[in-house]
Structure 1
Amino acid sequence: MEEIICYTFNEFKNKYYTLLETFLNEWEDNSEKDFLTNQKQLYKECINNTSIKHREDLSIEQLEFFNVEPLSNSFKCIQSKISESVFYYWHPYMDEMPLYHDTFRLRVKDIDLCDKYNRSFNMILEFIQNKTQEIENNLIPLQAEGGTETVQPKMSLEIIALKYVYENKCINISNHNEIANKYRHNSGKKLLQYYTFYYDRNNRKAKPHPSYTRLTLNNKIKKFEKVIALLSNESKSKAIDELKILQGFLIDFE
């Protein structure tokens, strides 16, 4: 997978599921957690190479990071964002020194740009870590009280219904209570109602109704994001496509 670097938190958040889908299509045996591990490593590298606190404090790795011929795609991406003449050679009595001189200084505007990207990369890394924790929490089996039987983590009936729709599993009048109990709910009546509603693709991809606001749209988007984190790779594709439709409605509030 070609390394694609996002330079703002919003850009990464908006492209997250597109990047995930690309990764899973290329690496079919991997999971969303593998994707997050890949992204974590990438943005840690970006953070390290934009952490420039002092104009004289540049490591060899950082020099390579900003060189005209960088060592990796991630270096090349960020180098293209920094002005071409990133470095000038410094000496107390001279503005420039020959190329063999080993002391470098960054211009003030380039340090500001590095700081800007560094803040964004740290926000992206925090998002990645939170996503990873969310997935790990969903994978932890719960122990039934007084026995060895495991029970499913408790999630909302709406999320359960969406999960079953995308997994092509049936919820009907015969099993709705049993499924609800499996997820530690007392009754499956509401679960069946949600399942019937979301089984219709038009309802899944529609704008929230009757109240259509940025808040209700964001709430619906968050539900789909939660469901996608629970799905197997085989079941994610349709959910991601429909999530992108919902995210496209955000333009109505810009």
Structure 2
Amino acid sequence: MKNKPKAFTEDIPEGLIRIFLNVESITCQVENDAPDFVNPLEDKPHVKIIPQTDLSHLTNVFERTYPVTLDKRKSKDDLLAWQMEEQGVWFDIDMNHVKEVWLSEFDFYLESEKPRYLSYYIREVEHKVQWLQRGQEKGEITSLSEFKKQFKPSAVTGKYKFSGIEVIKCADMLGRAIRKIDMRTETALVKFNTAKGRLEPLIIGMAEKLGYQIEVLDKDTIRREEERGNSVSHMISLK
């Protein structure tokens, strides 16, 4: 039987409530520049979680990185799935600050122990925010409420470096996608060649600057469109 995360076993200080960012699985594509002597299955990467809302006045848990282990059961083909040792991060705060955390979205970055050779591009993160509290009857810490989050790839930041050719390529793809937008629905389903996710932040960032929003399509939608003969990966829409 799997042990409970420490978030459910360590005491909650009097007068505070516990927030648990439960990260069930991180699925990513990997780019291996040295396949002859570097095996991503033997890698020991770390994940960095960055709240989109500044929570530094509430906790310091987002200042560090956390080790992850390979989930062989969920990994398949060119997609690798990883799990955090404690299934996420947790911290105790005053109830007045719950809304700040509850409404925040979170960005995730996975870095290899061999970053010169291995790069990870996150495709999906199964995560939710849970409000934990000790029950009065049994005295056990349980989840009082939870809010499932939807992962969205991060827009481009200074963390990424792109060549001029890549910028031109993304601008061309974005231009063609914009021309496909149906003005009645203000959306279009399109296909982006993101180089295994590497170019996705650049495309999203460029679109935002132009007043458009890019969303990754879920697997069911992609499958339905494939059955109709359409190859799609994203939805573009007017903001």
TM-score, structure 2 as length reference: 0.27
Which structure shows the higher helix fraction? 1
Larger relative strand fraction: 2
- For the pair shown, the structure with the greater C-alpha radius of gyration is 1
Instruction: Report the TM-score, using the length of structure 1 for normalisation.
Output: 0.26
